[in-house]
């Protein structure tokens, strides 16, 4: 397990406009390039990339929710996927 987490992996906070797919992909590529294949290590390291709302989401997950990183990634992407909101104003109602 690496002693130091790279600073080039951006932190994900869970705010509107953040690219969650890129975040997961960047993390996945980093762990693959460091030959980290043990899912228990991958799951623990992923939490280091989360701050704010995303960290709160991770911390509140029931213990043992995921057996591998793929399950966590799918849950993460599903939870933080934002719907596009359209502001049409009141004129569309008339």
Q: Which two tokens stand for residue 45?
A: 């390291």
Q: Is the pLDDT of residue 93 over 60?
A: no
Give the pLDDT of residue 2: 56
Is residue 30 within 8 Å of 6, Cβ to Cβ? yes
Residue 84's pLDDT band, with cuts at 50, 70 and 90, is: very low
Give the pLDDT of residue 60: 92
Is residue 3 within 8 Å of 24, Cβ to Cβ? no
With 0.85 as the threshold, say if the pTM is over it: no
**What is the per-residue pLDDT across 3-52, written as a single tens digit (0 to 9) for each?**
566 666 778 998 888 888 888 888 888 888 888 888 888 888 888 899 99
**Residue 68 and residue 74: Cα distance in Å, rounded?**
10
Q: Which two tokens stand for residue 31?
A: 């762990």
Q: What average pLDDT score do residues 72-77 get?
A: 88
Coil, helix or strand at residue 12: strand
């Amino acid at each position: 397990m690496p002693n130091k987490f790279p600073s080039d992996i951006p932190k994900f906070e869970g705010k509107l406009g953040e690219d969650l797919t890129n975040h997961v992909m960047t993390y996945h590529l980093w762990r693959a390039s460091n030959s980290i294949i043990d899912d228990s290590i991958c799951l623990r390291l992923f939490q280091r990339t989360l701050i704010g709302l995303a960290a709160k989401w991770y911390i509140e997950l029931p213990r043992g929710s995921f057996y591998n990183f793929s399950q966590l990634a799918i849950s993460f992407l599903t939870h933080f996927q934002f719907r596009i909101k359209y502001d049409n104003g009141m004129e569309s109602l008339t």
